[in-house]
Structure 1
């Protein structure tokens, strides 16, 4: 906005405004001129010293927070991420509802006092009618991202501010709210509007995915690697192929407008029918496929379908599609791409003589994943036999696994025991924490896997066994094999395909997981988490992962009074409250010379932090930052 509004032109325009009571038509940016005229029409004067009467009561603010629950839930994690990029720079991040009422703020402590004096607090209205030209109100009026700096504000009292704001749109084109980055005039960031616009896109994408779970979704980008990045397009389709929802990037890629939603079949935009896309998805789940627009433009498309949207190609030429039943892995899918990738790989080996090794921290749900893999494969009607190798005493594990003949040892059952390996015949054997199996048992297990026969303790004839093998461990078995604590030949035998399940702190589906867990604990009522608490919980390390988080939610649910439906701080166990409270402590700048005011330095610090927390994993760091791998590589090489 300031590229055509020089400081001199602004001073002359403001002087003309004060002397003549109207806005000049030349010399300043068109959007700024329109906003000043709207401010004048609202009866405001640049020198007004407003007595902040446009502030929601506590009751109205609570109702606004409840009404905008989804917006808050999806915005808070992004707001915290955005704030980390500008921390210690005299700035704050603000979320406003569609009426311009501030519903959440996050900022530097030393700037919050100034912000409060300017009414940048929750409950205050920053609609143009109440505050004149300002980034939030003007973005609402214009329907696009804007930056208002210093004296561009209509009210002189707000001239100390520099603000950038961008609208947040729903999948149907409805304005959901405004995301704003405000700070002192001297702390203006040259790329503030770009930062806040990107963050608004991140929120939009989360909202579109959440609100369109019942639909088939297409994730689009001009480049293969762009799928899954913040720059991807998203299109929601009805089961008969009509475009019913989208994000702005998705509409732009298909050359459509909001008015086209509900009135445009997919076939009008691309040269591939929906049933063909679904057929490709069924053959290669999760793999982007190449399509062309009717103007010849090439795009990559990845199909996402919730269980009700998993469809098969029609048997006739009617173009209709019919739903198929989701498998057990699909029923566990809550949207995390790393988990989904593991599930897609596991499906491909189900029913084949390829052992599956599941790696992940304790509590990430390895046994749940293993059981779902069994239930999704051709052996689903056979037994699923799970053995925790770390829980069975060493002196009993041999008898537990291989069985024993009658009277094989003191205390043995008179009739003997078939053993768990034989019990798994025709189904799946799951060895949890296989890395904790004693070396002597590893030798016997290796022989069974090689010969496919089990000989019980105490003698007897070998018995043929046929089972699929799934193992799981939180240990690094390759390192254990190198050190001699795990047999290398057994490692290569059980490592037909390795999949890694992400820890809870790195999953992108934290909100959906939370909803599903709460629904399972409270089937009779709709229990939810307070938005700010959900955001704080999503930042917790959760060393016990899903097991720990599920236990906490179960306990918090039990603490609710009969009339309560929202879990908040008072319902949490004391130890969790103490750990979460520690997250609110400000991060100390590593620079001895004080906090950086340079955006490039802030960006580099954010990249370093993301790489460190991702142990150098480029893809994971890019996901944390909300950028593509290519962008991250460019920044690293800059």
Structure 2
């Protein structure tokens, strides 16, 4: 908390204001002096009582209904903030644009004191009713403020220290005020920063929800800043006008709130909207480096929801209309099975139906889950991914459910929220859920049934709300039959099951390759040599997309200056050998079928084995892989076919 004037000096300054109408210079800052003037003009006296103004039940219900979106997006953030200040005798408050309190979360010890000064729902904290206070002064000044102790105009509020920040809409309209109030003896220097950051989080959630039908640009000076609370967000009309923005976005583009609705994107960024859309279609969600007209560089990520694609113009009427897209569609490169899985998942993303993603390791289950989250109504809230097979069993309980301070030896002194509560308001992704220990399955089932979490060492359950997506490479139905996975949990998580195809089963290998190369080499366009497409597409890829992406990443790294085509020389030696042997074995088998009568199966088998061994230079394991049999089977065939 910043240093304030001593109590006596503040009282004397306030008395001089009452006597002369002027504050003494150097005692209070200009903003505080303006607030004291407004308080006095409202007819308030420092030693008097607050002007009574409390909403009726009917008017409170009306106010809550009209601020439904603000409340919905603020509550998860307020709960997160309250966890940070839980033991500091504080209350987290949300007020509407008139200063009426709509929602509060308070430390039980401090709530009684707060209620005595009407820090409760329905009470007005407008300056005209309560004098100088963080909520009312933030409303009047439309900026973040901190009011400490005797800086409050009414002496009865002098036991408080308050920090508040306005919450603005995409068009700069004041939506409400977020406030943290507490005992002035426990004030902390970082409270104003915490409440300001939380207000920005709410603003970002609001702008994403309000601008779903608009094209959105997410901006930051570094690519790693995209997706963080520090990113700028700009909403565009389909003809390129800036129709909404958060405060960071306006600052990055060097615009003011008055420029919203009156500025073309081309006026500030050295790019045309149709060029941005074209790049986005080729490389969805890929950050693009753009320049302001003053030469400053920014990284931009385009987000286009299904309803936001501009309609084709008359001059393009003969061409197919641009396809609607979301984060799932951005991953769609044409495989019918993958698209079917995405279509099914998309239909339930806004409903309380859990999704179970099945598929081999490396097929992109987490990527699919993240895209599903980004395509739904919870896209602005957290996506929390947990690999159930990677967390040590001794830590998984505290990692998932969190713990209170002092719950066990080595616990953090301020406790731990836990991954389940971190996902509140968003999506919880449980990867490899089949590897979750049975004891933890029981606790998870209780969470899903009751929608509450009890941290380790706590006696009270905490409500949670998240969409659930699980993934596994194992056959959970069979595990449930064997008793190694709880049947009741299986039925609870299996609201909709989708199966992602293995890479060797996909029909979109060429398009998938193009997209992967675009993601791996965003700075320049890299292509695959035409002669590589068939052997790579015919390879079994036991590691699926993860393995293929790793191969392409290495190949791109092997490119020298001026090269833009991945050829044989850029591939790892072991893969070249496997692809070459596979091609030779295929050619040998094809030639044998052409010249050999199919009736003599034993001779056909013997020749195929001989050809595979020659192609593999005697490597038994490699020859067995090319023949599609196990090494033991190949040894057995060699033994039975050997001359006696």
TM-score of the aligned structures, taking structure 2 as reference length: 0.55
Contact 2:345/2:372 (CA < 8 Å) preserved in 1? no
CA displacement 1:258-304 (0-9 Å, x = unmatched):
11111111000000110111111001001110100000110011111
Instruction: Give the alignment of 1:39-438 within 5 angstroms.
Output: 39-50=39-50, 53-311=52-310, 324-326=322-324, 330=325, 333=326, 340=327, 344=330, 346-348=331-333, 350-351=334-335, 368-369=341-342
CA displacement 1:212-271 (0-9 Å, x = unmatched):
111111110111011111011111111010111111111111111111111111000000
Q: What is the CA–CA distance in structure 2 between the aligned matches of 1:5 and 1:22, rounded to whole Å?
A: 17
Q: What is the CA–CA distance in structure 1 between the aligned matches of 2:448 and 2:123, rounded to whole Å?
A: 29
Q: What is the CA–CA distance in structure 2 between the aligned matches of 1:22 and 1:508, rounded to whole Å?
A: 57
Q: CA deviation at 1:541?
A: 10
Q: What is the CA–CA distance in structure 2 between the aligned matches of 1:505 and 1:190, rounded to whole Å?
A: 40
Contact 1:275/1:312 (CA < 8 Å) preserved in 2? no
Q: CA deviation at 1:579?
A: 2.3
Q: What is the CA–CA distance in structure 2 between the aligned matches of 1:54 and 1:173, rounded to whole Å?
A: 28
Alignment match, 2:613: none
Q: CA deviation at 1:513?
A: 11
Contact 1:308/1:324 (CA < 8 Å) preserved in 2? no
Q: What is the CA–CA distance in structure 2 between the aligned matches of 1:125 and 1:6, rounded to whole Å?
A: 28
Q: CA deviation at 1:93?
A: 0.5
Q: CA deviation at 1:12?
A: 3.2
Q: What is the CA–CA distance in structure 2 between the aligned matches of 1:307 and 1:125, rounded to whole Å?
A: 41
Q: What is the CA–CA distance in structure 1 between the aligned matches of 2:314 and 2:286, rounded to whole Å?
A: 24
Q: What is the CA–CA distance in structure 2 between the aligned matches of 1:269 and 1:542, rounded to whole Å?
A: 35
> Which range is displaced more, 304-313 or 289-298?
304-313
Q: Structure 1 residues 294, 136: closer, same or farther in 2, change over 3 A?
A: same
**Partner-residue secondary structure (3-state), 1:325:** coil
**Partner-residue secondary structure (3-state), 1:37:** helix
Alignment match, 1:29: 29
**Partner-residue secondary structure (3-state), 1:262:** coil
Q: Structure 1 residues 323, 541: closer, same or farther in 2, change over 3 A?
A: closer
Contact 2:222/2:299 (CA < 8 Å) preserved in 1? yes
Q: What is the CA–CA distance in structure 2 between the aligned matches of 1:56 and 1:121, rounded to whole Å?
A: 11
Alignment match, 1:613: none
CA displacement 1:604-638 (0-9 Å, x = unmatched):
xxxxxxxxxxxxxxxxxxxxxxxxxxxxxxxxxxx
Q: Structure 1 residues 42, 94: closer, same or farther in 2, change over 3 A?
A: same
Contact 1:80/1:106 (CA < 8 Å) preserved in 2? yes
Structure with more relative contact order (C-alpha pairs < 8 Å, separation 6 or more): 1
Contact 1:275/1:313 (CA < 8 Å) preserved in 2? no
1:472 maps to 2:457: no
Q: Structure 1 residues 544, 303: closer, same or farther in 2, change over 3 A?
A: closer
Contact 2:76/2:425 (CA < 8 Å) preserved in 1? no
Alignment match, 2:436: none
Q: What is the CA–CA distance in structure 1 between the aligned matches of 2:54 and 2:456, rounded to whole Å?
A: 29
Alignment match, 1:579: 450
**Partner-residue secondary structure (3-state), 2:250:** helix
Instruction: Give the alignment of 1:426-465 within 5 angstroms.
Output: none
Q: Structure 1 residues 194, 347: closer, same or farther in 2, change over 3 A?
A: same
For structure 2, which runs of at least 5 residues remain unmatched after alignment? 347-354, 382-419, 431-445, 461-644
**Partner-residue secondary structure (3-state), 2:302:** strand
Q: CA deviation at 1:164?
A: 0.2
Q: What is the CA–CA distance in structure 2 between the aligned matches of 1:113 and 1:586, rounded to whole Å?
A: 26
Contact 1:215/1:305 (CA < 8 Å) preserved in 2? yes
**Partner-residue secondary structure (3-state), 1:230:** coil
> Which range is displaced more, 254-263 or 307-316?
307-316
Contact 1:275/1:314 (CA < 8 Å) preserved in 2? no
Contact 1:286/1:302 (CA < 8 Å) preserved in 2? yes
Contact 1:98/1:176 (CA < 8 Å) preserved in 2? yes
Q: CA deviation at 1:500?
A: 4.3
CA displacement 1:537-578 (0-9 Å, x = unmatched):
973899999xxxxxxxxxxxxxxxxxxxxxxxxxxxxx9998
Q: CA deviation at 1:16?
A: 2.5
For structure 1, which runs of at least 5 residues remain unmatched after alignment? 334-339, 357-365, 374-431, 434-470, 479-494, 515-534, 546-574, 590-638
**Partner-residue secondary structure (3-state), 1:539:** coil
CA displacement 1:319-374 (0-9 Å, x = unmatched):
xx996232xxx4xx5xxxxxx3x664x424x349xx97xxxxxxxxx98437579x
**Partner-residue secondary structure (3-state), 2:332:** helix
Query: Any runs of at least 4 consecutive aligned residues in structure 1 with deviations exceeding 6 A, and if so which?
Result: 312-317, 503-508, 535-538, 540-545, 575-578, 581-586
Q: CA deviation at 1:136?
A: 0.2
Contact 2:96/2:177 (CA < 8 Å) preserved in 1? yes
Q: Structure 1 residues 225, 212: closer, same or farther in 2, change over 3 A?
A: same
Q: CA deviation at 1:21?
A: 6.1
Contact 2:270/2:292 (CA < 8 Å) preserved in 1? yes
Q: CA deviation at 1:24?
A: 3.2
Q: What is the CA–CA distance in structure 1 between the aligned matches of 2:358 and 2:179, rounded to whole Å?
A: 46
CA displacement 1:2-61 (0-9 Å, x = unmatched):
5574656424313424655653354211100000001000000000123x6210011110
Q: CA deviation at 1:507?
A: 7.8
Contact 1:46/1:156 (CA < 8 Å) preserved in 2? yes
Contact 1:93/1:107 (CA < 8 Å) preserved in 2? yes
TM-score of the aligned structures, taking structure 1 as reference length: 0.56
Alignment match, 2:12: 12
Contact 2:144/2:163 (CA < 8 Å) preserved in 1? yes
Q: Structure 1 residues 284, 266: closer, same or farther in 2, change over 3 A?
A: same
RMSD: 4.0
